[in-house]
Structure 1
Amino acid sequence: MPKQVDIVAQKQAIADAAIQVIGETGLDATRLRDVAAAAGVTTGAVTHYFDGKDEVLIAALEELVRRILDPDVWRRPPGLSLKDALIALCGELLPLDDETRGEWRVWLAFWSRAIHTPRLAEIHRGYYVRITDALSETLMTHGGLEPARANLIADAIVAAVDGVGVRATVEPDQWPAARQRQTLAALITPLLPNAQS
């Protein structure tokens, strides 16, 4: 009887490996055989599930977005105000260590590719819609904000995370975790003057 393969688990393992390899070597230097080796599969397995490097990159990004949107990430810790909870949540999305810096390198590699590739640009927009919608929903549900105001603040928070994240990814020695968190808090705090609950 042929060995049963969990297709979802196999694709996720390849996506996790792609995050690691792209984060370490950059997208241009990443080879599918490197991703296969990191995932513990053959290159044939990678090409069976993914049609080229862009598809592997999309799978890696989808995994990053899945992690960001995991309901456990968005669960508000008891006793924290909405403002403090959002600052803590968004702080965890920053490139605070080697692993998360690698994830940011993947994200930035996708940005670079999406600028010139309409299909990837559309996927990029979709990721930001999902992330911004999750933030907006949190602001409306827990902060009592009207949809238009929640959407505006969600866009500003995402822009703040992106700005700090890019600086910290490109200049890690100048942007240690403490500076990233302090800067993010300084950017987010004025956005939520009435969200004390």
Structure 2
Amino acid sequence: MPQTRLTVLSGPSGVGKSTVVAELRRAHPEVWLSVSVTTRKPRPGETHGVEYFFADDAEFDRLIESGELLEWAEFAGNRYGTPRAAVLDRLAAGTPTLLEIDLQGARQVRASMAEALLVFLAPPSWEELERRLRGRGTEPPDVIARRLEAGLIEMAAEKEFDLTLVNTSVQDVCQALIALMAEADN
């Protein structure tokens, strides 16, 4: 059986990556989404091993030093990373595997797994991205400003990806992603 190709979904903060992934997992439970390790404290309702694996700084440092992370990045004072072994095990088993990660992480995956399919999720427009970020109502203005600043850099990196999907419809993006994952595995 040929090994499944890793699919990476990335794009600027606020573009709707989490919404797309939630819908994809609902409609296609056969797709495995990697659970990241983070140094961020759990939010109410989050469970260790479900939304994230929660680790302290010393444990995260150990994971980096031992090469146990496929990629990792720091954002807003917290670190996030993808456990390498879980991804490789799923790929070897032929399971459709998806990572939802930031630009820095996507670049690290590209460097270590050139065969991975990198998909950039773009907003319909910059104005729409800004509206979505401000409309969340979950973050203070300084965090939104940092996310918008990072968004400009992330949008400029679109050309580094294998292809771009514009998030005008969550269902359309999910259908396109599933089609790409099926095509990549044939």
Q: By the TM > 0.5 criterion, same fold?
A: no
Structure holding more helix per residue: 1
By relative contact order (CA 8 Å, sep 6+), the higher-ranking structure is 2
Instruction: Indicate the structure (1 or 2) with the bigger Cα radius of gyration.
Output: 1
Give the structure with the higher percent strand.
2
